[in-house]
Every structure is written in C-alpha cells, then in structure tokens.
Structure 1
C-alpha cells in the first residue's frame, strides 16, 4: 500500500469546464505561479461539450498566454457529467508511459491561493499511506467553506432534513459537515473542487464512477478508496477560493437555489443503493422525508424563511426509491 516517495513528483491537474470559460481562464491564471513552484506539473482542461464558445475562448487564451507547454485541451464529444469529464483527462495519463504520481481534481470555479498545490503535494509526499487529500475551500473574502465531511447515513439524512438543534446535538458524530477545522485532520471525504489523489488509488478502485452525472461521485470515490485501505485527509494550509455552484446553480449559498435537477436525486439514489443496498436506501429516503416534513411544519409555525429549492419535497418523493419501486 505504501508509495515510493519521489524528489520531483509529477502532478496532473484536471479541470472540467461546462459553460464557464471565463472562470476556467481565471483558474488557469491562478495556476501560473504554482507551475513555477512545481515545474513537473501538467494541466488538462476538458470542455464537457458546453455547446457555446467555451472551447474557442479557452484555446485562444492558452495560445495567447503561451501556456501550451503545461496546459492541454480536450473537447468532449458529449456532456457525460462530472465523473465522465474528469476521466477523459485522467485515463490517457494513467495509460501513458509517463504516469502522474498525483492527480488533482480542480473545479473551474476556483482560484488557488499561493502554494496551495505545493502544500498538497508536500503533504502527500510526507504521508505515503494517505490516498486522498483536500484543500480548505473558502469565499473570496477568506470565509471558510465546509470542505471535509463524514459519509452519508440514514442518521445524517434525518439531521440534514429535520434541522432541529437537540437532534443535531444527539447526532453530532453522524452529521455530514462537522465544524470547519483549522488543523490538518483525517476525514471521510473531501470536496471534489480541490482533491488530490495518489495514482495508486486508481489502481485500487479504478476511475470515478461515470454512472453519477453530477454530485456524490467524489463521496463514492472516497468511500471506495476507504474500503480499499486508503485514508483521506483535510489540509487547510492549502487554500482555494471556491465560487460555489457556478456551473450547476444547485449549491449556490448566497441566493435561494433553483429547483433541484433530476440528476441530483439520481446520484443520491445510486450512492445509497450501490454502497448500502436497497433496504438501506429506502430507510434513507424515509428518514429524510420524515425529517423534512417535520421541518416544513415547524418552519410554517415559526414563520421562518424558506431557503430550500422550490418543490423539494415533491421532487424528492417522485424521485425516491420507494416511488420508483411502486410505479
């Protein structure tokens, strides 16, 4: 399981763009100084069949800035989702004679702070038993975002939906997003917006599961790695600005999110059935719907602001395991 420590490790950064060319270009600009610090770093940008002028804009910027020696570009033939797009960038590198020591998944809606990549690489080099590590994600003003999480369970589903302080306190060890840590610590999974993966992890668990269109794929990948014996760590000294939800609009935090798309429910359902079985997935649905129904009643009685996506309960039920099984 232990990996050989190299003096000059090869890092491959994969950025998947979908209709956010300006953000992708800003992300690339933030990597320029990182490349100087880690010269054995290559970046591949995958355009996930945006259907706009993303490819032209990104290619033009690469040529204008003369980044061709460290940035390559792949135009996908279809939009197969987040895992599919990342795998397009990862697979050729893993199949080549010059395989990367590490792969960094980096969202296009990110801007890396100075030495963010070096901190991750140095950490992985110093801890060869670690398979995955993630950066501290933050708002532009430095406010930290939740970036390190626990695996989903029926109890975390209840807590997320119910939002009731006494229950959250009782389930403190089960909640998905614990308080943000200021120190490096082991965790179950990290956000895929900035996640470094040791090459040997792919040998253990293969590439990302492309049956997930978007969401839950990084949770699933970290779980498979965990089951294969690889640990996952959160490294807050690696700081990355994350402009949340710019591609999907689903996870935006500053305004009320738009209606949750079907692929989110499909991904959630796949995660529970694949990893815990059908009965557990049914229980997860029941716990969430019960909790959310109780929260809706309390929200109405206490006249609380509704910050949930529209039609969330109806959409959840119509996409639930129970509904699909009975229809």
Structure 2
C-alpha cells in the first residue's frame, strides 16, 4: 500500500440546500480520515436561498464554492467539481442532505484500495433509521416495467423492486461486488475518471450513477458496496423533495437510459410507459391516462404514417369504457380520433352530450387523409356544442356546414394572477423575448435575421428564444442571442424580465397561427407585442400589437426598432395589453362560462 499522502475531494452539488448543507460540511470536516489531504468543493446550481451564505462561513476549511449561473443538473455540476480538482486521488460524491458517520470515508477508501475497485458506495439510512436504496443491480426489462413505472403497483409483493435493490438476498455486513451504487454517497477513484471520463451530462438528474457504474464495469473495474461506511440521508435536499415519478427529469432520464442500453423492440414497449407515468399526480383533479398511438417513440414521418394508417393518431385505447355514463364529454376539433370515438359512444347510447373546442381556422383543412371527411361529417351531425376559440374558427365551421346556432365563441384563458407585470430593474438595454416551438412556421428565423440587423447599430439589445425544436441549433452561436428551455412553472419569470415580446408567425397552405397562447401570456404580463397578422392573431391581440405581413423581415425590424426607441410607447402598449388580458383572457371568467354551458347541456 502506498505511503503517499493522497488527496480526497468531496463534491457536493447544492440547489436551495441551506437547510442541510451545514450539517453535511460539519460531518465531513469532523470525520475526514487522518493521513489524507482534504478538499471540499460545493457546486451551487444557482440557489435562491441562503446556501451560498452558509457555505461561505467555511471558506477557511479548504472549501471552494463554485457558483453556477443556472441550474446545470447533477451530472454536469459534478463534472464541474471533478474538473476543478483533477489531481485528486479520490472523489467523494455526497448529497448536501447527507451526514457521514465516523470512519465512513476511511472505510470506503480502504476497501477500495484492498479490492482495487474503481467505484465504491456506502450504506445510507434515513434519519428515522430506515434503510435506503443505496446499491442496485443492472436494470433489466422486468425492472424497467415493474419498478420504473406505475405498473409496479400491479406486481404482487413488489418483487422486481426488491430484486433491483438486492433486497431479495440477505443483507451482507461485508463488502460485496454490485452492479451499481447511489451517486448520493459514492467514491470514485482518480484512475476511474482518467479511464472512462466524466459523468454523462445528458442525465440532468437520476440514473447518472447507474450509467457511470456500468461504464466502469465495462472498462474492467469493480464496483463495490461497503456497508461499514455509513451515512444518514434526509432526502430531497437538492431536488425539492419531489417524488421521482413526478419529475420531468426522471422521465427524461429513464427514456435516455433505455435508448442507450436497450434495443429497438424493448424501447418500443417502454418509452410510452415512461411518459404515461404518474401524469395524474400533476393535475388538481382526477385524471386517467389512456394509451394512444401518439405515445409511441418518435420515428421519421411518425404522424403522417400513423394518420394514414388509422385516419387519425389521436385515438385513446379504452376510452369508451371510461366515458360510459357521462352526461357531457368535452373533446377537441372535429377529426381527432378520440372525438370520433366519443361520437360512436354517443350513437351507442353510452353518453349524452358532446362539446368540442375547435381551433382550426382554415375551412376544409385536414381532409386529404382517407376517412377524415367522414369523421368531420359525423362531428357536424352529433356534436351538441362547438366552442370556437376565435371568430375565424367559427367562420371556418360555418363554411364546412355546421349550423351557426350550435357554435359559440369562447376564448381560452390563462392565470392572470401568475402572468402579471412586475417592476423591472434597469438592465441598461432592451430584452426581446420569443416563446415558441422552434420551427420555421413560427417565424423564428425571421426574428433572428431582424435582430441581427438591429444589433449592427445597437449593442444594447438582447434576444431570448424559449422553446425547443429542429431550428434550435440554427438559432445558437450569435452575440446577445440566447436559446433555452424553461419549465412552464417558471415561464412567467421570463416574460416579467422582458421588454418586448415577438412572435412573427408565418403561414403555409395547411397551417396558420390559430390562437397563440404565448401572445396572451405576454399581454397579461404587460408586454408590448410585435407579431404577424396570420390566422387568428389579429383577433387575439386586437390593437395591442404591432403587425407585419408573414415573412416581412424589413417591417419586423422597423417595428422592433420603433419599440426599442420609444419607452413611452412600450409602456402604453403594455398597459393596454394587460387590460385586454384582464377583460378577455382571465381563466376564471372562461371557466365560469364553460360551467354554464355544461349545466345547460346536461339539463336538456
């Protein structure tokens, strides 16, 4: 055994972890093994609490605080820590809500040396003394189905969950070889990092530990579980204590892991299950998720193929059984698969009335696919109430033969208490925001072109695209241009930091902007709007926007320049936009009217 005094670097990733981080640091300092150099790196993922202040008290304890400008996720943040201490002999990954016990780290290091292992994990227990899932087997298809989805509830005695966590065998008091250990209390040797590299940053959170262990084993290194290295883990100290099944990160990580390690047929089975999982937990009222063809993994020409095979891919398997006995069933459009299913259920006497929200503004659109005209004709005859979101949608229905007395224009609303103006700090420039799918028809390339012309003479302007799509990479790489995704729960913050909103949508033969929810969100937040006169946009925004003809970059630049240079105009347009949102787009007013429609139909 080498007598060289070796360096151990502990990496703690924090995100709003002020409640826990101090106890974690104290335990590391107190129980750090003698004979080893100590370095502790805290990588903070832009916490909004006092985490940075708490860590700052320990700067004289060989603790480095690396503050990030955004939430990088776990894998990327760990890699930041590793990169900052590449000379280290060992890296200890430890969650901020974890407290190590005496000799825990020493035992991990000694067992790693003894077995010449590449990765070691310790035993974690909750503060109530309950054993936690700290080591596990390689994921097989059965584990994926019966432990990684809600189908777990269907399997008697939770067998595959126990199998995955080695709970089907007696617990060992001695160090054992395993397939994987938790990244919340994991020791990685410097040699392992040199051989297989960093953690896979495509995992934002969850399964990055399993992935890294599999890569180590594939490279010929051992992964061991050391039960004599114990720690107490509170849980949720960096993930807001959200159940993993409720987390979008958990869904994405499962999906990516299976794409990486399983074959096409297995992914064809598993991918829909991941996205079906636990959706009802995110909704404030009962929700039953039914499987649809749309849940199939993406493949080239997915929807054109499915629509031509099945008339429309939006079929919900088992829908008739679920809606049987309903007084009112609310669907969407006239040609969707589940709309047709509801009509068939009504004709069979299973339900009483049908309401359909209609967005389509192009008469006789979507009729080129076999069976679509028949679907529409059945809808005209059997739907009891059509709720057109705009007058243009209403006119399209009338041109297709729907009786005017069956149609009502009911605009869609938003939470105007969430989307509301906020006093902005003077940032010394103008921030333009676009929230949209990053596809050609949304006019995002037109906006980029106009912005780059503006930037030539005005360096104090910024453009932010919020969204995802095939043009994402084409929009990146320009000065003062940012492209990113933001969870919808936080999207209102983006509007509140902007000065101008722009959505220059284009038109095609079969598509135009039917409504534009982001336009309403922007107006509710008190933003002046620059947009096109495509589809239903002029009806939605009224006099609260500056308009261009779709694709007219010259006029787009002119309108943006006008708002950039006129603060008073921006202010007056924003104020008018907010008043319009309060008047027409308050979801509570819309909900009240919708309830009246339901009661009227049900009482007939």
Partner of 1:110: 98
Which of 140, 151, 175 is residue 163 of structure 2 equivalent to? 175
Partner of 2:152: 162
Partner of 1:62: 58
Partner of 1:233: 224
Partner of 1:125: 113
> CA offsets per residue over residues 209-246 of structure 1, 9 Å max, x none?
11111111111111111111112111010001011223
Q: How do 1:1-327 and structure 2 match up within 5 A?
A: 5-35=2-32, 37-59=34-56, 61-63=57-59, 66-67=60-61, 70-94=62-86, 99-128=87-116, 130-160=117-147, 161-163=151-153, 175-179=163-167, 181-183=171-173, 184-249=175-240, 257=243, 260-285=246-271, 309-310=281-282, 322-325=296-299, 326=302
Work out whether residues 281 and 321 of structure 1, in 8 Å CA contact, stay in contact via their aligned partners in 2.
no
- Superposed displacement of residue 136, structure 1: 0.2
Q: Aligned equivalents of 2:102 and 2:289: distance in 1?
A: 42
Q: Aligned equivalents of 2:101 and 2:32: distance in 1?
A: 13
- Superposed displacement of residue 100, structure 1: 1.2
Q: Aligned equivalents of 1:268 and 1:313: distance in 2?
A: 23
> CA offsets per residue over residues 227-280 of structure 1, 9 Å max, x none?
1111211101000101122322456xxxxx487122211111111112224433
- Aligned residue-pair number: 291
Change (3 A) 1:194 1:258: closer
Determine helix, strand or coil for the equivalent of 1:13: strand
Larger RCO (alpha carbons 8 Å, 6+ apart): 1
Work out whether residues 109 and 244 of structure 1, in 8 Å CA contact, stay in contact via their aligned partners in 2.
yes
Work out whether residues 102 and 199 of structure 1, in 8 Å CA contact, stay in contact via their aligned partners in 2.
yes
Please report the TM-score for the alignment, with normalisation by the length of structure 1: 0.78
Q: Aligned equivalents of 1:57 and 1:321: distance in 2?
A: 45
Please report the TM-score for the alignment, with normalisation by the length of structure 2: 0.44
Determine helix, strand or coil for the equivalent of 1:208: coil
Q: Aligned equivalents of 2:108 and 2:261: distance in 1?
A: 28
RMSD across aligned C-alpha pairs, in angstroms? 3.1
Determine helix, strand or coil for the equivalent of 2:226: strand
Determine helix, strand or coil for the equivalent of 1:100: coil
> CA offsets per residue over residues 112-160 of structure 1, 9 Å max, x none?
11111111011112121x1111010001243221211012221112222
Work out whether residues 14 and 42 of structure 2, in 8 Å CA contact, stay in contact via their aligned partners in 1.
yes
Change (3 A) 1:315 1:127: farther
Q: Aligned equivalents of 2:66 and 2:289: distance in 1?
A: 35
